[in-house]
Amino acid sequence: MTPVSAADALDVLPDGVVIADGTGQVLLVNAVAACMLGVDAAASVGCELAEVLRLQDTEGCTWVGSNTPYAGLRSRTGVPEQSWLLPDGTEVLVAARIHRVAGEIDTVAITLRSGRGRARLDRERSDLVATVAHELRSPLTGVKGFVQALLSRWDHLNDDQKKLMLTTVHSDSDRLSRLIAELLDVARIDTGRLQLYARPSDVSTLAARVVDSVSQSTARNLVLDLERGLPLVQADPDKFVQVLTNLVENAVRHGDGTVLVTARAATGADDRPAVAITVEDEGAGIPEEIRRRVFTKFWKHGASGGSGLGMYLVNGLVRAHGGQVEIGDAATGGARVSVVWPAAE
């Protein structure tokens, strides 16, 4: 194996690196930094750091002038990561390490990292805020409108009208509570802090509860087909209901005709007993080429609404229980989503 020099090793790094000595003269510029800064790496050696590190903020201040790496306390060892602009206006994240010998500055190493990753995270946060605002606004508008009508026209409304309004307010309140619970679960899945209270649970009882609940809010035909003698599953009942509710509501929202929910004894991972819960609709289905994207956050398909978090939550919750989720084609041509849930030991 041919030995690699220090300069060559820095050239293969994904980030830009600029190293200067204790007097502020540049010792090395790796290939990535030279490309970012628009300078010649070899010609930059011996130049002043401020001349090579041509970074500015939105107000025209320079990185060297603002952070003064060669000034300050003798205990200073670095400059935290900050956002700066390259000469072409591209955002980069810049950090520095100040190396000292006997308290005096020996070298200053500056790293430059593309700001695209942070920009992507910012877009995801913006998408989340926009999604939350949109999903919260609809039920809140309904709640506010009906409550205002009840307060201002109470004596002019009959009992049936009052009951209808209060029922709608109750339904919208449940929708708000579910959305907040979903957002909290998304955050817990992302940070690995999801807490499950799994115990042996009856699939038949929980599935019937979900189908009855969704049936009350839709005119679509929902059919529940349960195999006799199903084993109990090891599940957090609330999370199981959340998973199945998302699947059934998705089938109602995106499909046509009848929604079929079945549960059968199956074999899961490591040939262990399991229960397979399948939800089928009679819609257009999900094309095979986009099925991998179904479980990403904010994924939406078709013109129907939704937060775009349902399938992400389904996948996260099922896998947290040790199960699997698969997407296929229903016999009717619609979508077929199967969840294999481990049986209780």
Q: Which pLDDT value is given to residue 300?
A: 67
Distance (Å, whole) CA 273 – CA 238: 22
Q: Which pLDDT value is given to residue 94?
A: 93
Domain 199-342, second-level architecture? 2-Layer Sandwich (3.30)
Strand partners, 259: 222
Q: pLDDT (tens digit, 9 = 90+) per residue, 50-93?
A: 999 999 988 888 999 999 999 888 889 999 999 888 888 888 89
Q: pLDDT (tens digit, 9 = 90+) per residue, 191-213?
A: 888 888 999 999 999 999 999 98
Write down the pTM of the prediction. Answer: 0.60
Q: Which pLDDT value is given to residue 124?
A: 67
Domain ranges of the chain: 6-114, 118-191, 199-342
Query: Is the fold of 6-114 the same as that of 199-342?
Result: no
**Secondary structure class of 306 (helix, strand, coil):** coil
Strand ranges, E, within the chain: 16-21, 26-29, 78-85, 91-101, 104-114, 199-201, 222-226, 233-235, 259-267, 273-280, 324-329, 335-342
Q: Which pLDDT value is given to residue 144?
A: 87
Q: Which pLDDT value is given to residue 5?
A: 67
Q: Which pLDDT value is given to residue 26?
A: 95
Distance (Å, whole) CA 126 – CA 4: 44
> What superfamily in CATH does domain 6-114 come from?
PAS domain (3.30.450.20)
- Weakly modelled stretches of the chain, pLDDT under 50: none
Q: Write down the CATH number for the domain with range 118-191.
A: 1.10.287.130
Pick from 318, 179, 195, 177: which is nearest to 247 by CA? Answer: 318
| Residue 231 DSSP class | P
Q: Which pLDDT value is given to residue 117?
A: 65
